[in-house]
Chains A and B, each alone.
Chain A
Amino acid sequence: MLELRQITKRFGDVLANDHVDIVVKPGTIHAIVGENGAGKSTAMRIAYGFYTADSGEIVVDGKVREIKSPHDAIALGIGMVHQHFMLVETMTVAENIVLGAEPGTNLALDLKSAAAQIRQLSEEFKLAVNPNEPIEHLSVGQQQRVELLKALYRHARLLILDEPTAVLTPLEVEEFFVILRRMREQGKTVIIITHKLSEVLAISDEVTVMRDGKVVGRVQTKDTNAAELARLMVGREVLLRVEKSDPKVGKAQLEVKNLSVTDRLGAKRVNEVSFDVCSGEIVGIAGVEGNGQTELIEALAGLVEPARITGVMNFEGHDLKMLGARNRRELGIAHIPEDRHRRGLLLDFTLAENSILGVHYRPPIAALAGEVFIDENAVQRRAAEIIQNFDVRPPNAALPARALSGGNQQKLIIGREYRVDPKLLLVSQPTRGVDIGAIEFIHRQLVGLRDNGCAILLVSAELEEVTSLSDRLLIIHDGRIAGEVDPKVATLEEIGLLMTRGH
């Protein structure tokens, strides 16, 4: 049905797909698994015409095709349900489904016959929705049904589903699988992108495993098991074990009790979470991304409106909830954010200017004329120190941060946050998109900071990283702490299963 041959795609200096070959047989459910950033979605977005590949070809029904836009893909019978739904929230179900493939003439939109057709499809595939309901009134599960109907309405023979179960409750997942099986019975081909291994085993016929932009395994589902898939999926080839001594654990620095964080739409992203972090230890949080890690760290760093937070966050006896990001920094909380481009850096600013973010308003930086003017010498000294100690290359403080590679940008951020001698460090995905050499360096720095008595809360989607660095390891699933393990004895498979299955 669909074949990707030697597909390569580069975003800036990131190689998202590296000569990817995927073969999907007609009438099967094909799972593509891999960690975040493995390149699964990129490959499928290329197949759907959302991105164009730098090289390689796409074969549909045995013929090489050029898919330049979703329009071309739809014409070839390909449909895709994206991880973030592509729905116009203010419009109705029927309007969304027919958009781009409207029934009736150019002069009259025939929504009545569309509604009838939608009802028929809903019946056939047991996808109950009301065609006249606006999208914004629907639950996430219902919205997903709309996405499926959208593809079916366009007579898609191949459905690509990107992380379809991420937004569903366990019960909904069961129903969803029934729908997928029914589609297969009707002769449709389904590609499901996921990293939940239990689901792969439950639903798919064949599996393609991706890691770091490459295909690393192709197996028949009946011939494999979760342990094998987990190993293929998380195995990072050249990651060095971190040398570290036993922690000298001090008193509890950060105490979190029954912390909940809701998002802007009112959904609970962090759900009644409780834990401590003591000085001198690294507490890791492992979990598939999107299970509340981001919200947890941002809530602790002071980047979430207080109205969306309930529960207790105490740091050295201070109630953090009442304090803004600046006050928290003043208490000695530093933060290495997960997305350095969005949060961590002012990309147009020079390295020197970036090196003072967060301390720019007080001595020794703002030190002249009553702490109003920034002391340029102090800035340069600080930047030079960070650049030297953290081996930021090229070592030129006048360059804009944009000019640096990902690894060097990360070293700059880490250097900046270390420079304030934090008592508590919140770290998210410290080595994402960072080259191997820098990874080792960053890991050593984290351990060194711990040995100096800093409390560290580490979030990482890299299982191996988080297990080798942490002294204690919490596993987060669906906004809750699903368990705590001793990283010295727990196996990767054990942790992997806990974070994909919940319990």
Chain B
Amino acid sequence: MTKLARDLLFPLIAVIAAFIVGAILILVVGDNPIDAYRLLLGSALSWPDGIGYTLFHATPLIFTGLAVLVGFRCGLFNIGAEGQLYIAAFATAWVGIKFANLTPWLLIPFCSLAAILIGAFWGAIPGVLKAKFGSHEVINTIMLNFIALALVSYFTQYHYKVPGDPILQTSPIGQGAHIPHLGKFIPGFPERIPLNVAFILALLCCLLVYLFLWRTKWGYEIRATGSNPFAAEYGGISIRKQIILAMAVSGALAGMVGINEVLGHRHLYYDGFSDNYGYTGIAVALLGRNHPVGVILAALLFAALQHGGIYVDGFSQNVTKDIVQVLQGVIILFVAAEAFFKWLLRRRTSSERLRA
């Protein structure tokens, strides 16, 4: 089996297997799986809403998928994208509120920079903790998620809320910080669909991450550390530096979700906006085999499901949009337990041999 075939085959098997498990569950609750799946996937292909919203939902998932990917490539498990994107989104809004009167030419870069830098900062913390004290990044990123959530919720509630507003959200950012919806540029594509320039940025980031990891010396060092830290050390690479760098880059990528959310969509910080983007990023990266192209494909799949979930909720008898989350969990489980399929395959072949 060539490498490309294997890279495509196992994710595909995992997805199909998950859909089979999902179908069984749908049958159990007394509904027709084919109808449910038609709603779930079919709606994503309609023009312009289906495609527009799928791409819109894919935007944050591409960012978080890339974030998890960069960590993985350095041998690190960044479960902290959720916290990183929250704190970065708040920082984005903060700059947009504080400097609301700046010209767009300055304000948009400033806000974006805030998203990137604060995300990188929050991501670098577990990196530093691992490099300096050897404490496990998985636990620390989980803990930092909750800390980030509490922090931004505090600032929103006590300092940046419009007085009297019952919703936990900040006051709006300056007009100059708005980035345009793509409908502005594409004829026939309505501007009401929130798909915005951040999607282009996400695609650009895929390219940049690819170039960074596979074409620069820094990427080489990060990947070498992830592949074999002892050999990396032997090659004169400082493992500690790579850990911190990879976590910072990872955090920066997660932070860019703030650009899509705050500058491109809501134009304010809304507490609790993330639909588990950070955690879904894990699924996206794993299913995408930790490759930027794979991340795009996996993000599109999950985004389509997310969009289709609304239709399932509306038009299906017994199936709710929660099926999306269930499918996602089962997909990761299958991707993680790749050995399971190899085991099935082996059993098949050995029992066939017995019969022959």
Contacts and interface: CB of A to CB of B under 8 A. Distances in A.
Partners in one complex: yes
A358 B224 contact: no
Contacts of A360: 217, 220-221, 235
Given A325-B234, A343-B231, A358-B236, 8 more contacts: A324-B238, A345-B231, A346-B224, A358-B234, A360-B235, A373-B216, A374-B217, A376-B215
A79 B11 CA distance: 46
Contacts of A335: 234
Contacts of B230: 342-343
B220 A374 contact: yes
A349 B224 contact: yes
Given A325-B234, A347-B228, A353 B217 contact: no
A227 interface: no
A344 B221 contact: no
B130 to A, nearest CB: 17
Contact of A366 (B217, B233, B237): B217
Contacts of A324: 236, 238
A164 interface: no
A185 interface: no
Given A345-B231, A360-B221, A329 B236 contact: yes
B189 interface: no
A372 B217 contact: yes
Contact of B231 (A326, A329, A357, A371): A357
B227 interface: yes
Contact of B228 (A345, A358, A372): A345
A342 B217 CA distance: 22
Interface in B194-237: 211, 215-218, 220-221, 223-224, 227-228, 230-237
Contacts of A441: none
Interface string B90-123: 0000000000000000000000000000000000
Nearest to B220: A360
A361 B231 contact: no
A216 interface: no
Contacts of B228: 342, 345-348
B231 A342 contact: yes
Interface residues of A, number: 32
A346 B231 contact: yes
Nearest to A335: B234
Contacts of A374: 215-217, 220
A80 interface: no
- Residue from the set B220, B236, B238 with the largest chain A CB neighbour count within 10 Å: B236
A303 interface: yes
Interface in A445-469: none
Contacts of B211: 373
A304 B290 CA distance: 32
Contact of B235 (A347, A358, A373, A376): A358
A349 B220 CA distance: 10
B234 A337 contact: yes
A359 to B, nearest CB: 9
Contacts of B234: 301, 303, 325, 335, 337, 343-344, 357-358
Interface residues of B, dominant DSSP = helix
A297 to B, nearest CB: 11
Contacts of A346: 224, 227-228, 231-232
Contacts of A376: 215
A346 B232 CA distance: 8
B224 A371 contact: no
The 3 closest A-B pairs by CB, nearest first: A326-B236, A357-B235, A366-B217
A302 B233 CA distance: 9
A349 B231 CA distance: 11
Interface string A82-102: 000000000000000000000
Contact of B227 (A301, A337, A349, A365): A349
A361 B221 contact: yes
11 contacts: A326-B236, A343-B231, A343-B234, A344-B234, A346-B232, A348-B228, A349-B223, A356-B220, A357-B235, A373-B215, A374-B220
A358 B216 CA distance: 14
Interface in A47-102: none
Nearest to B225: A346
Contacts of B237: 326
A353 B227 CA distance: 12
Contacts of B224: 346, 349, 357
Contacts of A347: 227-228
A371 B181 CA distance: 38
A357 B217 CA distance: 10
Nearest to B3: A400
Contact of B236 (A325, A337, A373): A325
A342 B233 CA distance: 11
B132 to A, nearest CB: 14
- Residue from the set B218, B223, B234, B237 with the largest chain A CB neighbour count within 10 Å: B234
A358 to B, nearest CB: 4
A372 B218 contact: yes
Given A349-B224, A360-B217, A374-B215, A325 B233 contact: yes
A222 B20 CA distance: 71
Contact of A303 (B216, B217, B221, B233): B233
B92 to A, nearest CB: 28
Nearest to A345: B231
B318 to A, nearest CB: 46
Interface string A322-339: 001111110000010100
Nearest to B211: A373
Interface in B221-264: 221, 223-224, 227-228, 230-238
A365 B217 CA distance: 9
Interface in B1-20: none
B210 to A, nearest CB: 12
Contacts of A328: 236
Contacts of A329: 236
Contacts of B221: 360-361
A440 to B, nearest CB: 26
B242 to A, nearest CB: 12
B67 to A, nearest CB: 22
Contacts of B231: 342-346, 357
A335 B216 CA distance: 24
Nearest to A347: B228
Nearest to B224: A346
A376 B231 CA distance: 21
Interface in A141-170: none
B147 to A, nearest CB: 31
A376 B223 CA distance: 16
A348 B236 CA distance: 19
B236 A353 contact: no
Interface in A351-380: 353, 356-358, 360-361, 365-366, 371-374, 376
A328 B223 CA distance: 22
A376 B230 CA distance: 25
A303 B235 CA distance: 10
Contacts of B227: 346-349
A376 B211 CA distance: 12
